[in-house]
Amino acid sequence: MTQAQLLTLINSAIAFGTVIMLGAIGEILIEKAGNLNLGIPGIMYLGGIGGMIAAFYYELGGGASPVVGLILSFLCSLLFSALGGLIYAFLTITLRANQNVTGLTLTIFGGGVANFFGASLNTLAGGVGQISVPVTSSAYIAYTKLGYMGTIGKVLFAHGFMAYLAILLAVAMRYFLNRTRPGLNLRAVGENPGTADAAGINVTRYKYLAIIAGSAVAGLGGLFYTMDYIKGTWANDGTIEGLGWLAVALVIFATWKPVGAIWGSYLFGFVYWAYLYIPGLSRRTLELFKMLPYVITLVVLIIVSLRKKRENQPPASLGLSYFREER
């Protein structure tokens, strides 16, 4: 492998990793509140299409400022994914619907909404052809001059701003969950809502806020994918769904630690793209090679359950709904 190839591989690993890292840290926040949200792929779809819709109509109306497009699409993406989270929160917390089933439904719904608009935005607006938002996307892709400076610059600085935002969010999430009062309260809710309730913590409010905020973060993964990873276009190929499930897997891989999700996501990205650089892979064996991220996750899952270390376990009440009168 040449140095240039290695550089490309590292950069695609980071870009790939950023998508699933954002999804995973959003899901970590939600799972820490005791909700296993299998709707993450749907949320990421919603976040992606939310940004797309805003950027599309902005550019359709003649908007030419990348910064305005960026702000609009960013906010709209947050709004869409937070709304998706709200649906899930309302059904699982207030109406006590089963979390797994509701999450799966959200994935179906989010994928439907996103791919519907992704495929028909142009038709609905009276245009034809492939949807594309080059102006807004350019603001997401842009990086500073440092990105051109030698190998180190290309590895560290040649990414759109969201790649750094993701790391920042992961570190902030770690601080929030381990060092702040609300963060500790939130974890108490996820471990044992009954005890948290008795201690005067408003379980319902914490769960709602965690799910909505976590969904907004996870949705950014979809936004990064549409705006940066595939450069402001839309593809109805189900990639976001696959990435969403990888984000859910990454939560296990990182054993519910936001900072663990950073290097975990890059490792996933590395393994995911490595097949391009392994000589002598036929088209068949290549498909087997692509299994690797999932096999690795499976192995981690098994090892975690074998070792039973307490700090690596999922939140104790993960997946259970809480109803004060049912204790």
Partner 1 sequence: MDKEHAGHEPLLRMSKRGELLPAWKSWGIRLIAFFLSLVASGLVIVLISGLNPAAVFATMLDGAVGTSKRMWVTIRDAMTLLCIAVGLAPAFKMRFWNIGAEGQILVGAIASAACMIYFKNLPTPVLLLVMIVSSLIAGGIWGFFPGVFKARWNTNETLFTLMMNYIAIQLTSYFVALWENPFGSNSVGVINSQTKAGWLPNLLSDGYNKDFGWNVIIVLTVTIIMYLYMNHSKHGYEIAVIGDSENTARYAGIRVNRAYVRTIVFSGAICGLAGFVAVSGASHTISTSTAGGRGFTAIIVAWLAQFNSVVMVIFSFLLVFLQKGAQAIASAYNLSQEVSEMITGIILFFLLGSEFFVNYTIHFRGKKVKA
CA–CA dist 149, 109 (Å, integer): 44
Residue 107 near partner 1 by CB under 8 A: yes
Nearer to partner 1, 73 or 102 (CB): 102
CB of 326 to partner 1, least distance (A): 7
CB of 113 to partner 1, least distance (A): 5
CA–CA dist 189, 316 (Å, integer): 10
- Write out the binding residues for partner 1, residues 287-316 only, by CB under 8 A: 287-288, 290-291, 294-295, 297-298, 301-302, 305-306, 314
C-alpha Rg value of the chain to the nearest Å:
20
- Write out the binding residues for partner 1, residues 242-271 only, by CB under 8 A: 242, 245, 248-249, 252
For Cα atoms 73, 76, 78, give the angle at the middle one, nearest 5 degrees: 110
Task: Label residue 309 left, alpha or beta by phi (over 0 means left) and psi (-120 to 50 means alpha).
Answer: beta
Closest by Cα among 211, 214, 183, 190 to 322? 190
| Helices and strands: H and E segment counts in the chain | 14, 0
Q: x/- binding map, residues 32-71, to partner 1, per CB under 8 A?
A: ----x-x---------------------------------
Out of 60, 79, 119, 209, point to the residue binding partner 1 (CB under 8 A): 119
Residue 123 near partner 1 by CB under 8 A: yes
Contact 150, 278 (CB under 8 A): no
Nearer to partner 1, 38 or 158 (CB): 38
Out of 1, 67, 96, 149, point to the residue binding partner 1 (CB under 8 A): 96
Nearer to partner 1, 160 or 314 (CB): 314
